[in-house]
């Protein structure tokens, strides 16, 4: 039975006076306990009323109707297998009838959006629903009930979106993590998860967060970006794209480095599209966000421990298991710890062509971080042995950065050419040279070769993927 049918059946079987009596009883209950116990948490405190009267009135009406909706019907059961359009129509009918019997001082605009807000509140992410529908929003950052920021086109801005209180934020967090089989409480106050659309979620709550529940959502485009899109955005140029495309096809091992939000995962997704369809790809991630476009793709995801502290599956466990799955390409979403040792061993034992990302401020620093991560595996390995492993496993380092204007660019393409004494040798092949700031505050610059012909050119030639020699000649001018 649909939500509409349930509601109309109740309305049909009850006389008008009985409906009015039920509404009046709920109004009295709302005045005594405005927030049901299921939405409150230990130690949480109801937020002070906001000074904006109209907004407060709207929230009161919305909260009252939301409680009626979940009390009278079973939204979870109705959502299962139902069409979204049917649920939307049912909620709209519910709101129309409810406002007829329970007049509220709402404007026409508020009445028209009330059903949509109730839909988000009952089945979605509450006040964040409209932001999740905005394709320009790449990050949603909830710092508290009244502080919601978004990133649009690389720049942060504060929104007018607000939650009722800290308990309301916690309710949305619990809804998100429950859908992926995870939990969050005082004993486990941090969690990583993902939404059905692939968005990456991180939540942290008290006692670790002193300002209440905090929620961070990293969104991705519905359609995977392609190389042409990155060129249009100014992330790279024709010369860089030609080199990177051939490096992937020739099975060179790539490490994509950069800071937080610099576009590492986006670039990894784009470069993975050049892997031949005939190859088997295995990806390993903490929270699955890669969208490999090939058909023969297996996605593995780590698992945190349960409430008893058991059942944890680390990235290192998955790397070891992936090697038994006959992968042609091993793609690790991000190297963070001891799995670095297993990744290097895999790349040095016939599993070439792997790709991964790593947080670092520069290519040279990335090598140092990788060396530190190998030591986290718990083996007392000599420094020179670790560096030899890195030098033989990693072929190319692609460094990306985010600029003040919000743009992301590949700032350096470097090749690992081996060892000299006890140091790993790097040579930069391509780079972005900033020339200034435009009148619209946009970063100006050019992509240019350094004049160094990479040692991997011979491998590209042997595989029939040779690049034109003038591509590495700085005298030929920047590529278009």
pLDDT single digits (tens) 307-356: 777 888 999 999 999 999 999 999 999 999 999 999 999 999 889 999 99
Nearest to 180 by CA among 212, 204, 148, 202: 202
Burial of 315 (0-12, 13-18, 19+ CB in 10 A): buried
Q: Tell me how far apart the alpha carbons of residues 315 and 303 are, in angstroms, rounded to a whole number.
A: 9
Instruction: State what percent of residues in the chain have pLDDT above 90.
Output: 47
11 falls in which pLDDT band (50, 70, 90)? very low
Q: Tell me how far apart the alpha carbons of residues 322 and 39 are, in angstroms, rounded to a whole number.
A: 41
Q: Comparing 389 with 105, which gets the higher pLDDT?
A: 389
Assign 173 to helix, strand or coil: helix
State the residue for tokens 């300002």. Answer: 211
Instruction: State what percent of residues in the chain have pLDDT above 70.
Output: 80
User: Taking 60 as the threshold, does the pLDDT of residue 50 lie above it?
Assistant: no
pLDDT at site 83: 60
Whether a cis peptide bond, with omega within 30° of 0, leads into 207 is: yes
Q: Tell me how far apart the alpha carbons of residues 431 and 442 are, in angstroms, rounded to a whole number.
A: 18
**Tokens representing residue 226 in the block:** 């392609």
Burial of 254 (0-12, 13-18, 19+ CB in 10 A): buried
SS3 for 16-55 is: HHHHHHHHHHHHHHHHHCCCCHHHCCCCCCCCCCCCCHHH
pLDDT at site 402: 93
CB atoms within 10 A of CB 386: 21
**Tokens representing residue 277 in the block:** 């369809």
User: Taking 70 as the threshold, does the pLDDT of residue 6 lie above it?
Assistant: no
Nearest to 90 by CA among 72, 63, 109: 72
Assign 290 to helix, strand or coil: coil
**Is-contact 97 7, C-beta < 8 A?**
yes
Q: Tell me how far apart the alpha carbons of residues 74 and 3 are, in angstroms, rounded to a whole number.
A: 8
pLDDT at site 474: 83
Nearest to 453 by CA among 430, 472, 428: 472
* Length, in residues, of the chain: 480
Query: In 210-349, at which residue ranges do the beta strands (DSSP E only) sit?
Result: 214-218, 254-258, 281-285, 297-301, 329-332
User: Taking 60 as the threshold, does the pLDDT of residue 57 lie above it?
Assistant: yes
State the residue for tokens 């088997």. Answer: 280
pLDDT at site 71: 65
104 falls in which pLDDT band (50, 70, 90)? low
Domains in the chain with CATH codes: 3-120 (no CATH), 131-218 (3.30.450.370), 227-476 (3.40.50.300)
User: Taking 50 as the threshold, does the pLDDT of residue 19 lie above it?
Assistant: no
pLDDT at site 159: 92
């Amino acid at each position: 039975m649909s939500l509409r049918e349930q509601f109309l059946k109740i309305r049909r079987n009850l006389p008008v006076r009985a409906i009015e009596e039920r509404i009046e009883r709920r109004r009295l209950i709302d005045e005594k306990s405005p927030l049901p116990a299921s939405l409150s948490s230990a130690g949480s405190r109801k937020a002070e009323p906001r000074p904006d009267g109209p907004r407060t009135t709207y929230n009161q009406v919305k909260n009252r109707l939301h409680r009626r909706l979940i009390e009278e019907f079973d939204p979870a059961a109705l959502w299962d297998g139902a069409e979204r359009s049917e649920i939307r129509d049912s909620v709209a009918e519910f709101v129309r009838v409810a406002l007829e019997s329970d007049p509220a001082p709402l404007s026409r605009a508020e009445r028209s959006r009330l059903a949509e807000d109730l839909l988000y509140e009952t089945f979605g992410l509450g006040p964040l629903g409209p932001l999740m529908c905005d394709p320009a929003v790449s990050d949603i950052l909830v710092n508290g009930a009244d502080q919601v920021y978004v990133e649009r086109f690389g720049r942060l801005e504060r929104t007018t979106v607000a939650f009722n209180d800290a308990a309301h934020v916690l309710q949305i967090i619990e809804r998100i993590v429950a859908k992926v089989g995870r939990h969050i409480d005082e004993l486990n106050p941090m969690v990583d998860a993902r939404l059905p659309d692939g968005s990456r979620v991180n939540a942290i709550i008290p006692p670790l967060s002193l300002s209440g529940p905090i929620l961070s959502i990293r969104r991705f485009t519905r359609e995977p970006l392609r190389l042409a899109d990155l060129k249009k955005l100014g992330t790279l140029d024709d010369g860089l794209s030609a080199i990177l495309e051939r490096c992937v096809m020739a099975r060179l091992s790539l490490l994509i480095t950069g800071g937080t939000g610099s576009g590492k995962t986006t670039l990894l997704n784009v470069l993975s599209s050049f892997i031949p369809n005939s190859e088997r790809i295995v990806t390993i991630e903490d929270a699955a966000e890669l969208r490999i476009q090939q058909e023969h793709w297996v996605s593995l995801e780590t698992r945190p421990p349960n409430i008893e502290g058991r059942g944890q599956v680390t990235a290192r466990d998955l790397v070891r298991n992936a090697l038994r799955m006959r992968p042609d390409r091993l793609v690790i979403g991000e190297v963070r710890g001891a799995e670095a040792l297993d990744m290097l061993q895999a790349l040095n034992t016939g599993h070439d062509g792997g790709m991964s990302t790593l947080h670092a401020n520069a290519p040279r620093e990335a090598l140092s971080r990788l060396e530190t991560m190998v030591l986290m595996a718990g083996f007392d390995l000599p420094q020179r042995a670790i560096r030899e492993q890195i030098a033989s496993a990693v072929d190319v380092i692609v460094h990306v950065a985010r600029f003040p204007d919000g743009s992301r660019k590949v700032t350096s393409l470097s090749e690992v050419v081996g060892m000299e004494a006890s140091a790993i040798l790097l040579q930069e092949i391509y780079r972005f040279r900033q020339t200034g700031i435009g009148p619209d505050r946009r970063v100006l610059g050019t992509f240019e070769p350094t004049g160094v012909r990479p040692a991997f050119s011979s491998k590209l030639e042997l595989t029939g993927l040779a690049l034109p020699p003038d591509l590495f000649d700085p005298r030929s001018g920047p590529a278009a």
